[in-house]
Structure formats: structure tokens, C-alpha cells
Amino acid sequence: MADKTIYLQVDEARHELPLLSGSLGPDVIDIRRLYAETGLFTYDPGFTSTASCRSSITYVDGDNGILLYRGYPIEQLAEKCDFLEVCYLLLQGELPKGSEMRNFVTSISQHVMVHEQLTRFYSGFRRDAHPMAILVGVVGALSAFYHEVIDINSKEDRYLSAIRLIAKMPTLVAMCYKYSIGMPFIYPKRKLGYAENFLRMMMADPYDDYIANPVLVRALDRILILHADHEQNASTSTVRLAGSSGANPYACVAAGIACLWGAAHGGANEAVLNMLEEIGDVSRIGEYVNRAKDKNDPFRLMGFGHRVYKNYDPRAKLMRQTCHEVLSALNLHDDRLFKLAMELERIALEDDYFVQRKLYPNVDFYSGIVLRALGIPTEMFTAIFALARSIGWIAQWDEMISDPELRIGRPRQLYQGVITRDVTNISAR
């Protein structure tokens, strides 16, 4: 619904562009008829000024450090809910009542196993393959198991696809890890909670009992909640773009996983730990901070800065708190890398370069440290981010498919290549 109109003057002609208002956030200029009426495109690399869709799932106010899932502040969700309640909320739009939650948990627990044939995919990968490389493959392979049976235009089928994805991701991610260390897969246990089940599949071995530390289970659950969705970020936009053609949802999620892998996005938590290892000692922090500020040096401080948050990321605040809880529970406050991270945080937060550019530690700065304390190896960090974000991806995919305004995503370009020329035969070139 257009609330206001703005005018665009192109040569002698004056064009009307509707201004659309959301329930929160800046108004958006509706340019859908821009090309038809003016013959012009807009130019916006990185989509920093472009709203690609309407959405009611997640709202981020980066200037004020606010994150809402379906209207609920992330701080309250992290405090009062567990990850599966948040999954229900993101998918269904409302927090579940007791009986709805019980049914949801039952549905998830019925789908935690993966087809035994799928487990054989793993052995096709080199044993030292990066877990994200394996995850892109095995999640994509889910589409081979659930393709003809899914009618993406059926609400029920889309819901079932989401349930399957939420249920199977911990199993698939844990299998990536077990495969990489040459250990047998640990099958899921239906009676365990979501985070505990995942920790068990990661950490248990077949010859011993595994009892999870409740502080660690809660910390992992919180990591999952904080990473569950983040509106139209790069990987979510990738899932939407892939899905806009009507592709299989698991293939779309595999595309999202590929996008998440990059160090500028979900790969940052792994990059933070690698950076801390490289810095090695508190005495070398100054040198690395100077490198981060040097425009001739490509080095950036990993875990600092965010495209949207120009204030403290609310997730980083919560993760920082969890980080302290975990380190206390494990008596790890004297850990070398943790001490280094805290000193780096202090120096960067006081440094003019970071202050002026509003470069605060982001959620990945702390989640990497927590995951390390949980005993999870660095190369698994982004795979765990993918596990958490799967609900966001599938909820956004579901919203997109049910949107009457859905069209295949097809950006335009500013062509700056060679103007038409003729092909000569190879002998004459």
C-alpha cells in the first residue's frame, strides 16, 4: 500500500514513485515500474540501499542495536526460551503454547535420523575435507531423498520440509565432525533435548557413557538462538534467490551454506580463532591493530564490524555474557587465547579508528571463544552457525514461496564491457 509519493525528475519528465511504509524501519521507494516508465535501472552493489522483499520474520535496527524475531527482543528470547521454541516462533509466527510445543518437539524427534544411504555420502569425501565442504554436499543431497514428494506450493509440504531440515541438521553436522576424525557416527537419541543431542553426537564415543554439562548445553542452545535468523543477510538472500526459481528447498539451503562459508559472513567465528592463534601473545596485539588500520594491508580484525550494526550487536552482548559463564564453569579464565581476546577487545574499543567507524565486536568474536571452550574444533564453527541458521533460511524460504508478489530474482547490471564487435577466424587473430 503506497502511503506517500516521491517524485523523480528525468529530463523534462516527472515520475511518481510510491513510498511504502513497513511497521518498523525506513520507508522504501517502490521502483518496480522505474525501468518501464523511465528506461533507467538503479545501481546498488552489495544491496546496501535495497529492500529485496517484504518480510515479517526478523527486524534489525543496526543503529540502535536492536534485533527482533517476530517482534520479540532477542534478549528476552535468549533468556526465556529454548532454541526449538524460537524455531517454532520463526516458522509459525507465534510462540507455541504448551501442547503446540509438545507436538512440535515430537515431530522434530521423529525426523532426526537420516536415510542410511545418505551416511554413505560422507565416505566419498577426503577425510581432511573442510566440514563446510561436506555440509554443502550432504544438505544438497537431501534434495535427492525428498524431491518428487515435495510440492513447494503446498503449505503442509513446506512445513514438513522445515521440520525435516531442523531435525536432521544436528545429525548431519555431527557426522561431518565424526567423519573428519575417523570416529563412528553417533546416532541421535530421541529423548534428549536439541542442543544436548547435538553435543552428544559430536562428543560421545560408542564405548563410553556421555553426560553433558548443563552449562555447556545452555551455552550451545544460546548460540543457536542468537544465530537463528538475521533478516536479508547474504546467505538468506542466497537461499531466497535460489528458491525464487522454484528449486528444491534443500538445494536452496545448500546454496545458503555455501554463502555462509565465506570469512566475511559465517566464516568469521573460525577466522577469529585463527587470528587469535596468529597473534599468539598479548604483546603482539598493538602490531595487529596497526595492521588492521593500515589501508595498504588487507588484514582486518576478524570479529569486528558489521554491515548493519553500527552499535554494539545485541547478540554480541548476550554472547559475551555466555562466554564468561562458560569460562567460569570450566575454570578457563586463564586460558591464553581468551585473555588475548579480552585484551584485544579492550584495546580496539578504545582505539579512535574503531570508535569512529563504529566497529564493535560482533557475535562471532565471542561465539568462537565459547565454541572453543566447549571443545569444538575451529573448523566446525561455521558448520554450527549453519545448523543454527537453517531455521532462518527455511522460514524465509517458506515466507517467500507463499508471497503473492514472488518473482524469480533477476538483478540487472551496469554494463561496462566492450561494445559490439565482430568475431574473426582464429587464424586471423
Q: Is 115 a catalytic residue?
A: no
CA 353 to chain centre: 28
Alpha carbon distances (Å) from 373 to 285, 323, 329, 332, 408: 22, 9, 10, 8, 43
The CB-of-83 to ligand ACO minimum distance in angstroms stands at 17
Element (H, E) at 147: none
The CB-of-259 to ligand ACO minimum distance in angstroms stands at 10
**Residue 186, class by beta-carbon neighbours within 10 Å (0-12 exposed, 13-18 middle, 19+ buried)?**
buried
- Using CB under 6 A, pick the residue from 111, 189, 300, 339 that binds ligand ACO: 300
CB closer to ligand ACO out of 186 and 273: 273
Residue 251 touching ligand ACO (CB under 6 A): no
CA 366 to chain centre: 15
Stretch that binds ligand ACO, among 54-62, 127-135, 200-208, 296-304 (CB under 6 A): 296-304
Stretch that binds ligand ACO, among 137-145, 264-272, 374-382, 400-408 (CB under 6 A): 264-272
- Using CB under 6 A, pick the residue from 302, 340, 341, 369 that binds ligand ACO: 302
Q: Is 306 a catalytic residue?
A: yes
The CB-of-376 to ligand ACO minimum distance in angstroms stands at 17
Residue 291 touching ligand ACO (CB under 6 A): no
Contact by Cβ (8 Å): 371, 269: yes
Residue 317 touching ligand ACO (CB under 6 A): no
Contact by Cβ (8 Å): 140, 250: yes
The CB-of-216 to ligand ACO minimum distance in angstroms stands at 22
Instruction: Provide the H-helix boundaries in 10-82.
Output: 34-38, 74-80
Residue 304 touching ligand ACO (CB under 6 A): yes
Residue 237 touching ligand ACO (CB under 6 A): no
| Choice among 130, 230, 265, 306 that is catalytic | 306
Q: Cβ of 387: how many Cβ atoms within 10 Å? A: 26
**What is the SS3 string spanning 230-276?**
CCCCHHHHHHHHHHCCCCCHHHHHHHHHHHHCCCCCCCHHHHHHHHH
Give the separation between CA 147 and CA 97, rounded to whole angstroms. Answer: 32
- Nearest alpha-carbon partner for 186 in 168, 164, 204: 204
Q: Which residue is nearest to ligand ACO (CB)?
A: 305
Binding mask 49-78 for ligand ACO (x = CB under 6 A): ------------------------------
Residues making contact with ligand ACO (CB under 6 A)? 264-266, 268, 292, 300-307, 357, 359, 362-364
Positions marked catalytic: 306, 364
